Structure 1
């Protein structure tokens, strides 16, 4: 199978869209398929043995955004894909879906970013209805739209976006593992971060307004030490709002896995997550999680079993959930174990195979459409 992946984000950008695209490419390579990546530049020339092609782009609030241009069509025509995968389509992905429709290429769109919700957080609430109208237009050109949570599927239905199905996110439970907590490096990191505090609470992710990391200021300083992992446009402002926190910057690989594992609790603060990949990574690391009862976390977190869900706009409820964990180390241990058991079946291999099934289904659908069209031309005219 020849798969063209057109993505609004790719390395070196670190976010949920990039992560899922990388895992899809890894799976395509492991299963022996061919792939092409088209993305905003700058980007590496290859990934997992597959060529990566850049399109013109610009920066906005720390994001690299691809601009529609004739370059995209040339890349697609040169590759001649069997199926097009549009990752979080908005601008570049919209052009890709429309181009594929004109060329009769089957398409799968993956909805990953609540763009309208982010617009509201950036003070652009008036644009949200227009954004949803645009998203309806974009996704109307896809043969199927895949969403990562039941809450997102409901949002898409309310917005009038049809032909949808669930496709979740996997987690690397071997990399994100509780063993890092008891390793020599893990124990040293924990001693350095915890100091004389009672509990180590962390956040991992992009530091941007829509993530609302400043809400960590509501946590009881007598109970916790705060650790923030990540980077982004809000970094300097957050250092001022959270003067007692330790900022580790962006981490990857084993360093990131170790940072998760040494925590006593993981707290997520944003309320517009279509999934919540960092929650899964924390759970795989054996760490209980606290997250808003909205969007993707509703599917990820078993409230009272693997952590707590709090009323999404209630900072006092957030702090109360952390206090419950601070007061009961045995509860933290139970929830951490339960969280790891919950995510162990969610491998990228299983989800990658499910995605290949969606690819095959839209290819079959396109072939059936073509056969009907041919038959309509061959049908004898009466009289």
Structure 2
């Protein structure tokens, strides 16, 4: 099958859209299919794609003002040209909003079936950054997803949101996790000794440091006796967060096996953002055998079994985050039980298994198109 993946982000970018697009391309290539990626150009230049699992077409882009880690694609004919040159049988739109809208238009023009993957709560971002614009964001999302043959939502909450805003033909497609890389055996006593020389409980956040992530909700957790907060990631909010989280250790961006060691070396993982359509870092923490505290909103509702693999707290409630962490700090046996249950819940959710589910969605879309044509 010849598939063109039109994605708003792709490595070397580090975010959920980029990682999922990369895993999709890898799985298609591994299963003998022929993928091509269309993505915004990055500052890294052509060498960034040297290790990609398939050819990558880069579209001119500009950094988002105030948030240079995010690049926005400029108008380009390269998308339509790529579809034609690749003889695409299906278009996969990853997190469509800017580049994906043009990819959808090209798919319609050339009568190529399209699967749109919803990944980012752009309406929530509009509310966070502008205090308005949710309706505009949903109208744009609805227009592109309604034109797709199928929309894939990563969680039950995301599916409900899409359907409530009039998006048709929505199905569930979760995300995979590398349960070989992320596993409890990566726990590193030497790393723990460096981060918590006094034997403190290590509480970690991993992710972008941006307003919508609400990492400042960890401020009261920082004040707990015997607790050391570790923040992994970078972004535009790093400077104010350093002031807001006294005593926290900021490690910057970490990837690969180093990130896996950090996850496994935590005692509790906390995610604070309420706008996650899935929340991959929660799943990676669970694969690492670490109990999770997360907001009872969005993707974590599917991932975290409250009182079984971790604790769900009201979104935006710093006191609830602190109290959940404190309850786990006082009970090592409960932490161990939650961690083991979390690992068991996600260990079989590999990218290979999830990738095969995606291929089933593709097959159903192509069959439906063929039936209409017949």
TM bin (shorter chain): over 0.9
CA separation of 1:49/1:291 partners in 2, compared to 1, >3 Å: closer, same or farther?
closer
Q: Secondary structure at the match of 1:126?
A: coil
**Is the aligned partner of 1:176 residue 2:208?**
no
Partners of 1:144 and 1:362 within 8 A in 2: yes
Find runs of 4+ consecutive structure 1 residues off by over 4 angstroms: none
Deviation string for 1:202-252 (max 9, x for gaps)?
A: 000111111111111021431310101111111122112113111111111
**Is the aligned partner of 1:116 residue 2:116?**
no
**Is the aligned partner of 1:223 residue 2:226?**
yes
Match of residue 126 from structure 1: 132
The higher radius of gyration belongs to 1
Unpaired stretches in structure 2, ≥5 consecutive residues: none
Match of residue 60 from structure 2: 56
Deviation at 1:313, TM superposition (A): 2.3
Partners of 2:219 and 2:246 within 8 A in 1: no
Match of residue 266 from structure 1: 269
Q: Secondary structure at the match of 1:20?
A: helix
Match of 1:277 among 277, 280, 289: 280
Deviation string for 1:53-99 (max 9, x for gaps)?
A: 10011111131111232121112111111100000000110110111
Deviation string for 1:88-112 (max 9, x for gaps)?
A: 0001101101110111101100000
Partners of 1:45 and 1:53 within 8 A in 2: no
Partner Cα distance (1:199, 1:205) in 2? 20
Deviation string for 1:283-320 (max 9, x for gaps)?
A: 11010000000010000000011110001122111111
Relative to the length of structure 1, the TM-score reads: 0.93
Match of residue 187 from structure 1: 189
Deviation at 1:197, TM superposition (A): 4.7
Number of equivalent positions: 366
Partner Cα distance (1:199, 1:175) in 2? 23
Q: Aligned ranges for residues 21-36 of structure 1 at < 5 Å? A: 21-36=21-36
Deviation string for 1:147-183 (max 9, x for gaps)?
A: 01111111011111111000000111110011111xx
Unpaired stretches in structure 1, ≥5 consecutive residues: 372-383
Partners of 2:117 and 2:151 within 8 A in 1: yes
**Is the aligned partner of 1:313 residue 2:320?**
no
Deviation string for 1:100-159 (max 9, x for gaps)?
A: 01111011000000001011111x232111111111111111000000111111101111
